[in-house]
Chain A
C-alpha cells in the first residue's frame, strides 16, 4: 500500500469523525442557549465551544460579532474554515476520492451522498428551528459511513489506518470537551443547579447522558463523569477505549507490515497508564494538566504513525 493511500484513509476517517464531533459541540451550544439566554451565559458557552473545537482564533480573525447565528454558520458551513462540518466532509471526500479503489462502494456512497447534500446547503436552512434536525442528520451520516467501513472494508492495512484516524480524533475530541469544562468537575465546586447542568452538557456532547445512568445507577457525580469519559473501557468515547482501539490497530499493522514499533510503543504506554490511573488521584493531581498533556501526546502519536508508515 502506498504511503499516500494510508494517509488518505487516515485523514478521511479522521475528518468524518471530526464532522460528527463538531455537530455534537454545536448541539451543546444550542442547548445552553435555552438555559442562559437572558443572563448572557450562552455567549460564554459559545465561546468555550470555539475553544473546544480549537478554532477561537480562526473565528476572531473573521472580525464578526460573536452571535449564535454567526458562530453556528462558522462551525457548520464556513467553506474557509477547515474544521467546519462542511469542510470536514469535503476534506474527507477528497481523501476518499484520491484513493477511491481502497474503499468499498458502500463507504464511497455514504460519503459522497453526504457531500452532495451538503454542497448546496445555505446557512438560512439551519436556523434555530431546523438546527436539531440538521445536527441529527450529520450524526446519522457519520454513523452510516462508520457502519459501512466496519461492515464492508477488508481487515487489511487500510482498515487499520482508517481506525487509527477515527479513534485518535475521537479521543482528542473527548479530551477537548473535558478541557472546556473540567473546572466544574474539580472537588469543592459545589453542586449547584448550574453545575449539574454543566455536567449534563459534558455527557450530552459525547452522547453519554443516558448511558451514564445505566452504568452508574445514580445521579451525576463529577468523579464518576471523569472516570466514565477518561478511564472506563466500557465507554466507547472514553480516552481509554479510544486508546485501546488505536493500540489494537497498530498491533495488527505491526503484524501485517513489521512496522510501526514506535507508534505502538507510544499507544501501549498511554494505554497502560490509563488502566492504572485512579480517578481520585487524577482529580487531585491536576486534571487540566493531564488533559493538556493528552492532547499533546495525541499529536505526537499521529506524527509517529505518519513517519513510520511514510505518509508523505
Chain B
C-alpha cells in the first residue's frame, strides 16, 4: 500500500507543495485525491503506467529528438498523478493571463505603429527597433482584429501560497497543447472513477475553439467560410506530431511549403481537385522561414511571396510575423510597465525580478551576485547559453562574468526560483517533484483560456529542469469547478 510510503511534502523546505499544507494535511482541492491515493498499490500503479505507455504509443504521440537517429521518436514520460488547481486559483490565473496577453497584443500594435510607449520614454527605442526580433516589414500594417499573437502558451511557476510568477510569454509558436489533450484522454481511460469523484473543467473543446479563433481572424476580403490550413516544416520537426494532431482535430489540411503556391494574388494549396484557396494559415514555422523572397532566401520550408500576400490582406498568418519582439527576454523585464502603460492597471501576475545587464547599476548587481542568479542570453532558448549560478563552479562563473562584461546588452539575470512540488509516481511509491504550468490562450474575436494547461514535471528527484529533453515529463492538469 502506498500509505506506508507516506508522502513527504516539498523537495526543499522553501518549496510550496501543491498537495499538502505546512501541517501535512491536504489542501481542499486535493482532499479526495489524497484518500484515493491511499487506496492504491504500487503494483496497481505500475500496471496503470504500462497501460498509459501503450495508449500513448498507439496514438503515435511522440516527439523527435534531434541528432538521435536510433531513438528519433520517443514518448514523453507521463506521470499518473494529476495536478489540481482550485477554482479560485484558476480564476486568479485567468484574470492575470488575460490582462497580460491583452497588454502584449496592444504593445505589438503600438510598436508596429506610432510607438507611443517609446515616445513616452517607458521603453528605450533601441530595445525595440534595435532588437533582432523586431520586424520593420510589419510597420503600419493592421492585422485582422489587430491581433498579433493569437495562440499563446504562458509559462507559469508557483513559489509560495498564491505566488504565481510568469516565466515566459511564448508568443511565437508555443507547443505542448496536444499533450494537454492526450493526457486528459489517457487519464479518463485509466481512472474513470476519479472523474466521477471530481468536477474537472473540460478541455476537449480546445480544437473547436482553436478553429473558431482562426476563422474569426480571416481576412476581411474573405466572404463565406474561410479555409484554414496548418503549415508544418515536415515530419522531421520535433513537434510534427502536434501539427498533425491539431490539423486532424480541427478537420483541416496539414500542409508543407511545397503544397502551397502564391498565384493570382491569393494563397492556394494543391489538392487532388486542383488548387484551393487558403485564407488562414496557422503556421508552425519561424518568421525567418515563412517566405524566402522576404526573409531567409535559403528557406525551403515557406512559400515565396507569402508575406506580400499577408501584407495585402489576402491571407492571415497566425501568429503574425514579428510577435517575437514581445516575448524577447530583454523585453520581458518591461512587461509590468507594458501592462501599466496600456491598461492603467497593476499587473495581476508577478514577473520574475529581472536584472538587465544593459543597465549599469543592474549589471554591477549581477556581477556581484552571480552565485545566486540564473543568467540567460537575451535571445537564447531551450536552456542554451545559460549560467545557473548556484550550480556553477567558480571558474565557470568567472568565465561567464567576462562574457557579460564584453557584451552586457546580451544578458539578463534572475534569482533562482524554487518551483512548487507535486506528488509524482516513483519506484518506491510517490514523492514530490518540481512542476511548472503552461496554460494555453486563444485570441481572436474573444480571449479564450482553456482551464488547466500542460503541467511539466522534473521527474528526477530534486531537479528543477522540466524540459522533456532533460528528463522532464508531463501530468494531466485539473481545474476544479465550484
Interface residues of A (CB under 8 A from B): 1-6, 94, 97-98, 100-101, 105, 108-109, 112, 157, 257-259, 309-310
Contact = CB atoms under 8 A, between A and B. Distances in A.
Contacts of B245: 101
11 contacts: A1-B253, A1-B271, A2-B259, A2-B272, A5-B253, A6-B272, A94-B235, A101-B245, A101-B247, A109-B58, A259-B273
Contacts of A5: 253
Interface string B212-256: 000000000000000000000011000001001101100001111
B270 interface: yes
Given A2-B259, A97-B235, A259 B248 contact: no
A4 B270 contact: yes
Given A97-B235, A105-B59, A259-B272, 7 more contacts: A2-B253, A5-B253, A98-B235, A101-B244, A257-B272, A309-B272, A310-B271
Contacts, number: 50
Given A4-B256, A98-B234, A101-B247, A157 B272 contact: yes
A310 B272 contact: yes
Contact of B273 (A105, A109, A257): A257
A133 B95 CA distance: 64
Contacts of A105: 58-60
Contacts of A257: 272-273
A1 B259 CA distance: 11
Q: Main secondary structure on chain A at its contact with chain B?
A: helix
A105 B244 CA distance: 13
Interface residues of B, number: 22
A310 B244 CA distance: 21
B244 A1 contact: no
B258 interface: yes
B274 interface: yes
Contacts of B258: 4
Nearest to B258: A4
B272 A101 contact: no
Interface of B: 58-60, 234-235, 241, 244-245, 247-248, 253-256, 258-259, 269-274
Contacts of B253: 1-2, 5
Nearest to B229: A2
A2 B271 contact: yes
Contact of B60 (A3, A100, A259, A309): A100
A273 to B, nearest CB: 28
Contact of B255 (A2, A108, A109): A2
A98 B253 CA distance: 12
Nearest to B246: A101
Contacts of B58: 105, 109
Centre residue among A6, A100, A258, A309 by max chain B CB count within 10 A: A100
Nearest to B274: A310
Contacts of A1: 253, 271-272
Centre residue among A3, A112, A257, A258 by max chain B CB count within 10 A: A3
A101 B248 contact: yes
Contacts of A4: 256, 258-259, 270
Contacts of A3: 259, 270-272
A94 B236 CA distance: 10
Nearest to A310: B270
A157 B258 CA distance: 21
Contacts of A112: 60
A259 B275 CA distance: 13
Nearest to A100: B244
